[in-house]
Copies of this chain bind each other. A is one copy, B any other.
Amino acid sequence: MAVYTDVSDGELTRFVADYDLGAVLACKGIAEGVENSNYLIQTERASFILTLYEKRVKEADLPFFLGLMEHLAARGFSCPTPIKARDGGVLRRLCGRPAVLISFLEGLWPRTVEPFHCAGVGDALARFHLAGADFPMRRANDLSLPGWHRLVDATRARADEVAPGLARELATELAALEAAWPRDLPTGVCHADLFPDNVFFRDEAVSGVIDFYFACTEALAYDLAICLNAWCFDDEARFNPVKATALVQAYQARRPLSEAERRALPILARGSALRFLLTRLYDWLNQQPGALVRPKDPREYLQKLRFHRTVRHAEDYGL
């Protein structure tokens, strides 16, 4: 939970005056979110989210993220839309940081995941992939194999503080994935971070998807593998086949997986488990004193990774 940049009332009033939204009635820093500072702004017109991009988001990537939101919204996919200022621009500056106002999305994200949520997210992910199919911009996934190498190197010396033998296990896993990684699956825009706190529901239906700041051009089935990890395990990191079946079947009802994608699913699931294991491990080992965000326990993803190593066939995931 975090608001890294404190926006003064004067700065905010001047910022919003560049839009056609009426006066600011209220502004609250939002506790959710790790990478950026977010405020919920109420103006005479409506509610909006004000996002200030902190240093973990590269400014050069912002046109991709904002363009993607506009592209998806134009195709009827429910997600926040950047609001245009009077001069027609969406990316502005506030408190020395890149900043945007985006539309406010109703709905609640599920703290406790039920199978119907998994079906909802499977369907939404497929719609996301289809809506993004003709998005013309590209962005490399900087948390794929080369990024994992960097994180394995950066955590090697102290990984065993988190679990005995972890440094060696990570090196072995990375070598195995390097050898077996599928290179010719269908690619497209992936969300790449579709965790429960990024999917809003109303009355058991998905009302929208937020947080596109890991989106990248990647194998589409890898995005599904991320969702398997994020949605289909219980609180003790035990795999739940009912949820996985709901997720995968809802996805396939909109976008059937190719045979190559099905075969690749176990290895993609290992890769995505390794990806979150490594970033959580790095954050765990590099906690800043006074940080406002509690790092997440990396061992949750170690357990998930070990589960996926026991999976031999995509059928084990409910396909």
Contacts and interface: CB of A to CB of B under 8 A. Distances in A.
Interface of A: 1-3, 6-10, 12-13, 23-32, 40, 42, 47, 104-112, 200-203, 290, 292, 294
Given A1-B292, A28-B40, A30-B30, A9 B106 contact: no
For this chain, the copies found in one complex come to 2
Contact of A1 (B1, B107, B201): B1
A26 B107 contact: yes
Contact of A25 (B40, B107, B109, B111): B107
Q: Which 10 A-B pairs have the closest CB atoms?
A: A29-B31, A8-B111, A9-B108, A3-B31, A25-B106, A31-B31, A28-B30, A26-B106, A8-B112, A9-B110
A13 B201 CA distance: 12
A110 B27 CA distance: 11
A311 to B, nearest CB: 30
Given A9-B109, A110-B9, A25 B292 contact: no
Nearest to A29: B31
A216 to B, nearest CB: 27
A10, A23, A25, A47 interface centre (most CB from chain B within 10 Å): A25
Contact of A47 (B1, B42, B109): B42
A12 B112 CA distance: 12
B27 A29 contact: no
Contacts of A40: 28, 40
Contacts of A25: 106-107, 202
8 contacts: A1-B3, A8-B112, A23-B202, A23-B203, A29-B32, A42-B106, A290-B294, A292-B294
A21 to B, nearest CB: 15
B12 A108 contact: yes
Given A1-B29, A26-B108, A29-B32, 9 more contacts: A6-B111, A8-B111, A26-B104, A26-B105, A28-B31, A28-B40, A29-B31, A40-B40, A42-B106
A24 B3 CA distance: 24
Nearest to A24: B108
Contacts of A110: 8-9
A25 B201 CA distance: 9
A207 to B, nearest CB: 9
Contacts of A26: 104-108, 200
A30 B27 contact: no
A202 B12 CA distance: 13
Contacts of A27: 108
Contacts of A13: 108
A145 to B, nearest CB: 33
A220 B202 CA distance: 48
